[in-house]
Chain A
Amino acid sequence: MSFEFLREFGGRRLGQAPDQPLMMGADGDEPEVDDRVDLALECPTDEWQPIDVTPFQPAPEEMPTRFIDGCYEGETLAWLQDREGHPIPLRLAQIGGVCIRSVGRTLGRETAILDRVVAMIADPFPWEAVESFATDLAAHGIRLLPVSPPKISEDRRAAVFDFQRMHEQTRNGVIPAMEALEEVALCHTMGVPTVVDGRLGRFRCDFDDWDVVGVIKRQQENYLDAAGWRVLYRLQPGERTPAFEVRSKETPVVSWYLKLAGDHHSLPNWGVVRVEYPLTRFQRLGREFAKINRISHALFQIRSRRASYSRTPVSMEPIVRAEESLKSLFAPLRPLCHHFYRVTNL
């Protein structure tokens, strides 16, 4: 009988539960562990002041015309247990990467690539059983995505009894697969000024001859010292902090904070994004800080102004459109879940 794996390990359905916001990356999925920051790249930190970027008009050829986003919709639709009784969630996910391109005043989809997977922490099971499960899934056009178990110590990963932790690990473990699709979209056409939603260090691309800018909406690292934070909280829309250097293993970048929205009554960090630009590219262009001003102005010009979108204060309008465009290609998730239940007889 096919899908013997699910029966052998007590597979059972899970009811629909509201999904929590995504964490960034699974434990140890290629983290940038060696971040080192040089805050004095543009000026000594005791001289930091907000910089108004609005007088710096970008040249037409500097305006970004490609916009990259990745999307991930998923549902944890079943769970099973390994021989020791650890709970193992099964998650059905649709992932994709998209590139939206502006031509004149029109935004159109340049490319989109989608994938569907069933993600599962596979290590606790005998490889033979997982192989059999993957084969059964493949026969129905579904791809198994094995996810690493959570870290339980510096150098060891293993299943744990905490369902929530296993669930988060499974959910976050899909992200690298989505990022691989984003990279496909990013590299579809190289050499054209491009804005990416998120960090550049996630991609294995050569940015030396290419204006690619990463815009990070959610701030998870603390790169600033006390003086830097004070400047950040003084930013007005259209202003940026001085640039600093973030050295990382994958892609060293020049980075700065840019305020897109907010007023006197907003939270102090309202509408602030962090921007990344490849350090090698910056150096090749002669460390021209006016370029950073022009990039910032370009981003400020294309900021989202929608009242209806919850992340508007930190969003680029073309990126919002990219996300909408990609999501429109996803199939409704519930019927996919029912298809899974049907073929697996769960």
Chain B
Amino acid sequence: MTDVSESERIAEAVRRAMATAEAPAAKSPGPVPLRELIAAFDLIHDEVPGLNCRQVARWLERAGVPPPRDLPDDDGPLAGYLFANNRGAYIFVNKDDALPRRRFSAAHELGHYLLHFEPGEEVEFVQGDEQEMIAEEPEEALGVMEREANRFAAELLMPEATCRRLHREAREQHAHSPRYLEHRIAGELLVSREAARWRLRSLKLI
């Protein structure tokens, strides 16, 4: 279950992201410019093949960045990883994942950054997300932070206004099929069909 304050916090974080990046309004065609949103917060992003903690440590070492203090020497597969402190923040996604999935993972980590990272001296925020934690469909069994980051990613990548516009256009063409809408949203917004289906359901459009 999510409460109103959680919904408001997520909506506010999405607004903040869009405003900071001066992203175009949702009525613009094409996908949400996630690249610009990540860049607007000076986050460094990279796609790493076979992402795991060990790969993250190697990447940071190569870049001359001191790794997190308690980064485990672990090769368990990850979908996304966020490392943030006062000196910078890094988002990694698994390069082996499908493209819509990678975007969703990156948006999920951006969500962690905006919702859960509180900068401060000596503060280190580390979030390694396994595949099942970054859920493009609702997963109630997840902890609050993961659920919030997933909702943030969904609301950021599939803006309500865009979903409603595409739904309205489909109705005007007498295209009532949920499958058509899923395809349309997945294609136009570069998300997976599963993610599109969940978003449409959550907005009660299908």
Q: Does A320 contact B (CB under 8 A)?
A: no
A143 and B47 contacting across the interface, CB-CB below 8 Å: no
B33 and A145 contacting across the interface, CB-CB below 8 Å: no
Q: Does A111 contact B (CB under 8 A)?
A: yes
Q: Does A132 contact B (CB under 8 A)?
A: yes
A139 and B29 contacting across the interface, CB-CB below 8 Å: yes
A123 and B30 contacting across the interface, CB-CB below 8 Å: no
Given A126-B47, A127-B102, A180-B179: A139 and B174 interface contact (C-beta under 8 Å): no
How far is A204 from B173 in the complex, measured between Cα atoms in Å?
Answer: 19
A262 → chain B, closest Cβ, in Å? 37
B176 and A123 contacting across the interface, CB-CB below 8 Å: no
Q: Does B100 contact A (CB under 8 A)?
A: yes
Q: Which residue of A lies closest to B178 (CB)?
A: A204
B187 and A146 contacting across the interface, CB-CB below 8 Å: yes
A132 and B174 contacting across the interface, CB-CB below 8 Å: no
Contacts of B33 in A (CB 8 A): 131, 135
- Which residues of A (179-217) have their CB < 8 Å from a CB of B? 180-181, 183-184, 187-188, 203-204
Interface bin, chain B: 20 to 34
- Which residues of B (113-131) have their CB < 8 Å from a CB of A? none
Given A123-B99, A134-B30: A183 and B177 interface contact (C-beta under 8 Å): yes
Q: Does B103 contact A (CB under 8 A)?
A: yes
B99 and A188 contacting across the interface, CB-CB below 8 Å: no
Contacts of A146 in B (CB 8 A): 99-100, 187, 190
Contacts of B188 in A (CB 8 A): 138, 143
B174 and A111 contacting across the interface, CB-CB below 8 Å: yes
Q: Does B77 contact A (CB under 8 A)?
A: no
Give the A interface residue count (CB, 8 A): 34
How far is A198 from B63 in the complex, measured between Cα atoms in Å?
Answer: 55
Q: Does A46 contact B (CB under 8 A)?
A: no
Q: Does B16 contact A (CB under 8 A)?
A: no
Q: Does A3 contact B (CB under 8 A)?
A: no
Contacts of B98 in A (CB 8 A): 123, 148, 157
- Which residues of B (134-193) have their CB < 8 Å from a CB of A? 173-180, 182-183, 187-188, 190
Query: Among A117, A135, A187, which residue has its beta carbon within 8 angstroms of that of B177?
Result: A187
Given A111-B174, A180-B180, A204-B178: A131 and B187 interface contact (C-beta under 8 Å): no
Contacts of B31 in A (CB 8 A): 131, 134-135, 138
A341 → chain B, closest Cβ, in Å? 20
How far is A134 from B190 in the complex, measured between Cα atoms in Å?
Answer: 8
How far is A47 from B34 in the complex, measured between Cα atoms in Å?
Answer: 64
Q: Which residue of A lies closest to B176 (CB)?
A: A187
A180 and B183 contacting across the interface, CB-CB below 8 Å: yes
Contacts of A141 in B (CB 8 A): 29
30 contacts between A and B (CB under 8 A): A113-B174, A113-B180, A117-B187, A125-B99, A126-B47, A127-B47, A127-B93, A127-B102, A127-B106, A127-B190, A130-B99, A130-B190, A131-B31, A131-B35, A131-B103, A139-B30, A141-B29, A143-B188, A144-B187, A144-B190, A145-B187, A146-B187, A177-B187, A180-B179, A184-B173, A184-B180, A188-B174, A188-B176, A203-B179, A204-B179
Known: A113-B174, A126-B47, A131-B35. 12 other contacts (CB 8 A): A125-B99, A128-B34, A128-B35, A131-B33, A134-B31, A135-B31, A138-B188, A145-B187, A157-B98, A177-B183, A177-B187, A183-B177
